[in-house]
Amino acid sequence: MEDTRNLLDEYKGMSNEQVFGALSKKRNALEVAIENVEHDFNIGTIVRNANAFNVNKVHIIGKKKYNRRGAMCTDKYLEIVHWVSIDEFLASQKGRELVAIENNVPGVKPLGSKEFKKQTTLIFGGEGEGISQELLDEANDVREIESFGSTRSVNVGVASGIAMYEWVRQWAIK
């Protein structure tokens, strides 16, 4: 029987648990946090991107449920942790660099000039509300994705893929 899941050939025929285990042996140190993202499909897209870059963990702060269709079942292959409060999330991040990806905030610097630490957690917020001031205040760094057209930002799902790739480019691509 043909395995029709959207998997690389090396994982075809494996159970979901076996795929999770195989990926766990080579996870990247990068983690991702999602706060105030209202559109379920955007959360699913971030989760799917996190799987594509084999991040260590995805943190969802606040809202727990999301439309897993956007994740295309990739949520089965990585660890997703839900935090009710910012304080709980922050307690789990000791020793990690917290980098908020946000635009239109004072002091924001371009993503293209960022030199990431290996133990980094990228933080993404909703397109309307963005990352809360409480979490921005705790971030070690705030970066924006440079825009060269007329719009000042890209969709948060797209932004997550760009930022994760930049970390992977610096730490995982050999």
Q: What is the pLDDT of residues 6-18, one digit of tens each?
A: 889 999 999 999 9
pLDDT over threshold 70, residue 66: no
Instruction: Spell out the residues 6+ positions from residue 14 whose beta carbon is closer than 8 angstroms to its own.
Output: 7, 22
Map out the domains of the chain as residue ranges. Answer: 28-171
Q: What percentage of residues in the chain have a pLDDT greater than 70? A: 93
Query: Are 58 and 83 within 8 A, CB to CB?
Result: no
Angstrom distance (rounded) from CA 77 to CA 70: 14
- Give the type of residue at 128: G
pLDDT of res. 69: 52
- Considering the domain 28-171 in this protein, what is its CATH number? 3.40.1280.10
- Other CB atoms within 10 Å distance of the CB of residue 105: 13
